[in-house]
A = this chain, B = another copy of it.
């Protein structure tokens, strides 16, 4: 019902800045300036130009042409290595992204979602982006780094490998994890198990012997595991296939339900002497699943078993418990990454940033139960 221009047949060449200039009787440079922010133009001229533009239905410079000329597209690429539906299931990822978007948006740029290098034809190699932010916590980041390097794209790595020479924003994952473990140690716990984020591709749920060297490209998960082992070298480890409540729940049944627990959900914890008295989960979602499992097995948290998570993300639907966890400033980290990307585009050289997580002792951890 609203106006609809160019309805009928003509191929209708797009209106360009030059057309506007012609109609207004000025040069293209003037029109260009008139459409910019703070160029040297008289108000009268600006008005005239905009009038002409309105008459022709010109809505402003073509972003494609502008980005060629400027050498910038105003887009920051964000590399997701999983499919969207998976990547966005992780609340930490969302917070990071939210922080990035906030900072990048405020600067007048936008976000482009990029796939794995191998994935779609639109990847780091071919996307019109000015810089790239990638999540080092995912496996197989190295190709992406290499690609960005080749193209000369500024690169920011979120949660990257410590030894990386790429500009990075990360956390002291090992230290934070150690702190979580220490918290439990101080409460008297000695028999502790830990749940990790996926360590490697393919992502499978499996146990890891305490003696096993830590495998995996997921640097975050590896560091956190190492942190735990610094306090509890013998900690029994279950590698989860994803950061999901359900994964934590399954692991919970494995750890708390006893070796012979035939099927989950039928209650009946294993003997107290064989059971860990505390669990360190590498994410709040995993911790939540663990708490659910404990409940299903008739165990009280923290009376029978303590559970501590990691992230400190406010989880919708977890209103009843105050989860003990390591709170990390995810959104702030995202913002920092965004700022860094913009700075790199502007030619500055920001310095590597490292954030720290703080222990939040909630009501899901408590003293070790009497034997």
Residue A175 is within 8 A (CB to CB) of chain B in the complex: no
Q: Of all chain B residues, which has the CB nearest A85?
A: B98
Decide if B94 touches A84 in the complex (CB within 8 Å): yes
**Binding-face segment, A19-27, A147-155, A204-212:** A147-155
Provide the bound-state CA to CA distance between A152 and B265, in Å: 57
Chain B residue numbers with a CB within 8 Å of A151 are 59-60
Interface size class of A (residues with CB under 8 A): 35 or more
Chain B residue numbers with a CB within 8 Å of A63 are 73, 126-128
Chain B residue numbers with a CB within 8 Å of A43 are none
**Binding-face segment, A100-108, A182-190, A215-223:** A100-108
Q: Of all chain B residues, which has the CB nearest A3?
A: B149
Decide if A115 touches B122 in the complex (CB within 8 Å): no
Say how far A220's CB is from chain B's closest CB, in angstroms.
20
Residue A120 is within 8 A (CB to CB) of chain B in the complex: yes
Residue A14 is within 8 A (CB to CB) of chain B in the complex: yes
Q: Of all chain B residues, which has the CB nearest A164?
A: B1
Say how far A90's CB is from chain B's closest CB, in angstroms.
10
Given the known interface contacts A110-B122, A111-B112, A122-B108, the answer about A1 and B165 at a Cβ–Cβ threshold of 8 Å is yes
**Binding-face segment, A230-238, A243-251, A267-275, A353-361:** A243-251
Residue A67 is within 8 A (CB to CB) of chain B in the complex: yes
**Binding-face segment, A131-139, A254-262, A285-293, A297-305:** A285-293
Decide if B317 touches A292 in the complex (CB within 8 Å): yes
Chain B residue numbers with a CB within 8 Å of A105 are 115, 119-120, 122
Decide if A113 touches B110 in the complex (CB within 8 Å): yes
Decide if B120 touches A106 in the complex (CB within 8 Å): yes
Provide the bound-state CA to CA distance between A112 and B244, in Å: 27
Decide if A110 touches B106 in the complex (CB within 8 Å): no
Residue A331 is within 8 A (CB to CB) of chain B in the complex: yes
Provide the bound-state CA to CA distance between A62 and B4, in Å: 35
- Chain A residues 1-46 with CB under 8 Å of chain B are 1-6, 14
Residue A263 is within 8 A (CB to CB) of chain B in the complex: no
Residue A74 is within 8 A (CB to CB) of chain B in the complex: yes
Provide the bound-state CA to CA distance between A3 and B106, in Å: 34
Provide the bound-state CA to CA distance between A245 and B249, in Å: 19
Q: Of all chain B residues, which has the CB nearest A105?
A: B120
Residue A68 is within 8 A (CB to CB) of chain B in the complex: yes
Provide the bound-state CA to CA distance between A85 and B292, in Å: 26
Chain B residue numbers with a CB within 8 Å of A106 are 120
Provide the bound-state CA to CA distance between A83 and B317, in Å: 20
Provide the bound-state CA to CA distance between A149 and B59, in Å: 10
Our pick among B88, B146, B317 for the contact of A246 (Cβ within 8 Å) is B317
List the 6 shortest-distance A-B pairs measured between CB atoms, nearest first: A245-B317, A85-B98, A108-B121, A105-B120, A63-B128, A110-B122
Given A5-B152, A85-B94, 17 other A-B residues pairs in contact with their CB atoms under 8 A: A2-B149, A4-B149, A6-B152, A59-B125, A63-B127, A64-B128, A73-B128, A74-B127, A83-B102, A105-B119, A105-B120, A108-B121, A128-B128, A244-B317, A246-B316, A288-B317, A292-B317
